[in-house]
Chain A
């Protein structure tokens, strides 16, 4: 997987490149908007990590030029501006996700993975499967080993989001944004309790747990090792 990091602050850029390389990505760096646009139009990247405020060409302008040139490489915008308004502007300009600085590296990694997977899940999918857990998007029902599981509407959406990102870490902030549409982090561990309730329903009466807590990062739903396809 090849990534392009467009960031003018050298220290942040080096830190991002190092972290991403260690996570198994190949990383190219650009330090301003023009260079970023040049690299992005030439190279074939799987995703772009883009700082919003850049010298010579603003991040949003660069993204606009890129999209106008018909290049739809998924882009994650990094910005110090965190209001909902700024976020909406960034997403309208062609960004696929928006992360407010400062951020935890694990958060960036989780979002980047979600972004890279986005194309993989086809829109025609009506059923999501993880191990023996099955979620039907049409009938809005959940079954495990053919045994129906009662879930609340919000729990259904929570499970859906986790299952769409099966095998990958999903952070609490991502859950708040995508399941509750809350763009701030409450001081109370509200998400943890929701996840543990969901876990009660899908894992309690089964011997192999699917929903795991990843310390310091978030949650991950994945099939147990023996039956995993890979």
Chain B
């Protein structure tokens, strides 16, 4: 599998020993709304914070240390840290009906669009 997207590229150090990563996402649009997927390995339901403020959706996934204490690292290819990313929502998203689900380290957020008003035919009468 060719992993074109490397988390490393976006990793930035916010604290000497604490990494904050930008998780890779997919967004696709359906007739009903937008579906957003984010890869958040190591994040559990209890350690995930989702917040909508004004029109900004912020996700913060906290990752607990995965390794028992006293483990001696022999070989390190990836770093562990928290995930943070925010999105600007368009005006048609119904904030109160946003749904989120977390499974196997992947977050799925459904952002429903407000149903468009049905076009109304205006009767034109002849004078």
Asked if A and B bind, the verdict is: no
Q: Which A positions have Cβ atoms within 8 angstroms of B?
A: none
